[in-house]
A and B are shown apart, each in its own frame.
Chain A
Amino acid sequence: MQIKHILPVLAAAGLVFAGYTVVNSNKPTPIAKAVTEPSTAPFKAFIAGAGIIEAQSQNIAIGTPLPGIVKAVAVKVGDPIQANSPLFYLDDRDTRANLAIKRADLAKAVADVSVAKATYTDAKALSDLAEAVTDRRAISAEELIKRRNAMLISKAKLESAAALVQQAEANVAEIETTLSRLVIRAPVAGVALQVNIRPGEFAQAGFLSTPLLVLGNLEQLHVRVDIDENDAWRFDKSSKAVAFLRGNRQFKVDLVLAYVEPYVVPKKSLTGDSNERVDTRVLQALYRFDREQMPIYVGQQMDVFIETTVTPNAPPEAAPPVAAQGATP
């Protein structure tokens, strides 16, 4: 075959190859699918927010009234706890020793009362005897006064001893109170959500960033929804709300408003990062939901959508024309 015939063939081949390259090299790059489908609001106009699950009672961070070494922890995480049942015990040896001393003091005081009573009986007998002598000459006036005074003194001593008994009793009661304060009890019935204290550890009194023990009532959970302050004006207490579980949007639950915290607080990022940054303030609304519908744990995050009647760019009152146009869905 001659070159003049090869050239058109080559050209045709070149064109075909170029076409192939064009088709082949311009295939759209594959798109990475979402690992889980993101949740989508079922409403036309809505406020979106992140929610965190908490117990209805809120999460009670249990503190101790007295600092001390933990002797024993009576509960495990997840244990159901009756109201007033002990949670953990602080070391009480010192206090118990003190109680023994105070009790001994009480016994001594009681004994002192007996002595004082006997002394008083004796003095009173002698005084009574002298008082009974009708002949004033039979007993000197001095003797009479002496006996009378001895009786009065011993009476006073008896009263003092009785008072000391009361004091000793009060001391014993005080130590007993202290002793009971070394046993930390559940203020309400609930479940131990977190136990951060173990026997032998020192429990500090006062506010702690890591609570010693977190108690909550899990019978009813709440979801605390952060609503951006910019969106807060659109929030309507009577509107519907739904929550989706993060990671699986199949789990969806309708929310019922429990209450709204009227104070707008600085938002903390809910990522659990230790150095949270405050960047805006949020209105917090708490919602109830049916626990049966969702396998959820306290502290888990949810995507919450709250229906609203107003879209962001259409304020309800006296909408300016430009914004009103923007509201068309």
Chain B
Amino acid sequence: MNHIALKMLMGDTGKYIGIVMGLTFASLIMTQQPAIFVGLMSRSYSFISDVGLPDIWVMDAKVQFVDDIKPLQETELYRVRGISGVAWAMPMYKGLLKARLTDGTFQTCNVIGLDDATLIGGPPQMLEGTLEDLRRSDSVIVDIDGATDKLGKPSLLPGGKPTPLKLGDSLELNDRRAIVVGIAKVTRTFQSQPVVYTTYSRAKNYAPRERKLLSFVLVKAKPGQNPAELTRRIREATGLAAYTQAEFMELTYQYFMHNTGIPINFGISVLLGFIVGAAIAGQTFYNFTLENLRQFGVLKAMGTSNWVLLRMILLQAVLVGSIGYGLGVGLTALFGHAMRHTILAFKFPWQLLVFSGAGVSIICVFAALISIIKVIRLEPAIVFKG
């Protein structure tokens, strides 16, 4: 009977494609929009995940998210270092500083100061130069996106593309000279500002004079140390906030969730996609069943049980659902692939596959359900009516 069900489904190519397209659209919009959303939200904490080495981030207790810098006294570094269970603790400066470009315009940059000796917290991937080059005087490492775009030398022609920064080019950070010794690839951040890496002590020279300049203390737990236990100990001993990497990402993520309109906007578009997809696919599938009602009636009259009919309809629903789902997520992946080098945020975690799979399943089950009710209620006697 399964064969017959499939033949029935695919017999009318137009309707078959219609249902599949509806489900494709639904699953496309249910993956593509959330993928952009997840991509955008993951950018909010991309800096934290880029600095992968430390387990724990220590900061001022009032810090709300990663870009909310409330500097600490430098001696806090040594207090944190003195807590048992801490394998090492390193300072990090993070701040927005103005870079002056050759044409006199200013560009705000995210300046990251790394521990002078170990350079812990450096960019994930070096495209040119090495991290050790930061030991040279006045040296900085610039991220590739910033180097090619915002920090590039402005074009002589108005509206032209800026000339990318090269190794050896100099920048002016707060009236101080900085020499580019490396180009790095970093994950884009929410604000997409250029990222400039340098050493901690040099960053302090670039930064405006303040009494406190230590943004974060990066902590590595000793092997076998329970991070939750250690963060609690750090909090109690220093009165600072200590988060594991995951907690800090979550904190930042939650801040953006609660303080920006992004989640609502995307939530609405995902919901709309779901509703539209469900409506189109459900409607088409239901119509399909209705038009085949006579055929189901014939089968029923010839002695097919409701249970077999139900299985046939479910099979049809599962098939169109799977095809629509596969096409939808495939198109989403294609979209992501095409956009991978652009500024567009796109992230496709496996949970999204599950999410859209569940969405398409719900649509299919719903469409199949109303069709099944119709078929089960069907009086086979209709087949005798001409």
Contacts and interface: CB of A to CB of B under 8 A. Distances in A.
Given A15-B325, A46-B84, A228-B78, A22 B353 contact: yes
A279 interface: yes
Nearest to A230: B79
Q: Per DSSP, are chain A's interface residues mostly helix, strand or loop, or mixed? A: loop
B53 A11 contact: no
A312 B74 contact: no
Contacts of B333: 14, 17-18, 20-22
A93 interface: no
Interface string A227-258: 01011001000000000001100000000000
A267 B75 CA distance: 9
Contacts of A19: 353
A30 B336 contact: no
B326 A10 contact: yes
A311 B84 contact: yes
Interface stretch (B203-211, B292-300, B301-309): B203-211
Nearest to A32: B122
A311 B230 CA distance: 12
A12 to B, nearest CB: 6
B323 A48 contact: no
Nearest to B332: A18
Interface in B327-355: 327-334, 336-337, 340, 346-350, 352-353
Contacts of A47: 78, 82
Contacts of A32: 51-53, 119-126, 131
B233 interface: yes
A26 B326 contact: no
Given A40-B222, A277-B211, A11 B83 contact: no
Interface residues of A, number: 66
Most-contacted residue by chain B among A4, A10, A246 (CB, 10 A): A4
Given A14-B331, A17-B333, A326-B232, A231 B78 contact: yes
Interface stretch (B9-17, B56-64, B268-276, B371-379): B9-17
A137 interface: no
Nearest to A35: B119
Given A38-B220, A273-B204, 18 more contacts: A8-B319, A14-B329, A15-B325, A16-B330, A17-B334, A22-B352, A29-B125, A32-B119, A32-B123, A35-B131, A40-B87, A41-B81, A44-B84, A230-B79, A273-B201, A275-B209, A305-B81, A311-B84
6 contacts: A2-B13, A11-B322, A32-B52, A40-B87, A230-B75, A234-B82
Interface of B: 10, 13, 16-17, 20, 31, 49-53, 73-75, 78-79, 81-90, 115-126, 131-132, 187, 201, 204-205, 209, 211-212, 220, 222, 232-233, 236-238, 319, 322-334, 336-337, 340, 346-350, 352-353
